[in-house]
């Protein structure tokens, strides 16, 4: 799900970055995993 949100954010451009930040749940390890997926999506 995080990668799908990242893909959507990339398609929308810069404005989508705020959306994905808020889409990351604040649950410890899960949040970290989603953040890593987000960073990977934007670094590719």
pLDDT tens column, 4-29: 766 676 666 655 555 566 555 555 56
Collapsing DSSP states into helix, strand and coil, what is residue 41? helix
Residue bearing the bigger pLDDT, 28 or 34: 34
Domain map (residue ranges) of the chain: 2-43
Asked if 3 and 11 count as a contact pair (C-beta separation under 8 A), the reply is no
Element (H, E) at 16: helix 16-23
Residue 36 has pLDDT above 70, yes or no: yes
- Confidence at residue 40, expressed as pLDDT on a 0 to 100 scale: 82
- Confidence at residue 29, expressed as pLDDT on a 0 to 100 scale: 60
């Amino acid at each position: 799900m995080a990668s799908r949100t990242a893909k959507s954010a990339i398609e929308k451009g810069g404005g989508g970055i705020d959306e994905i930040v808020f889409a990351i749940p604040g649950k410890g390890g899960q949040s970290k995993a989603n953040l890593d997926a987000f960073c990977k999506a934007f670094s590719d």
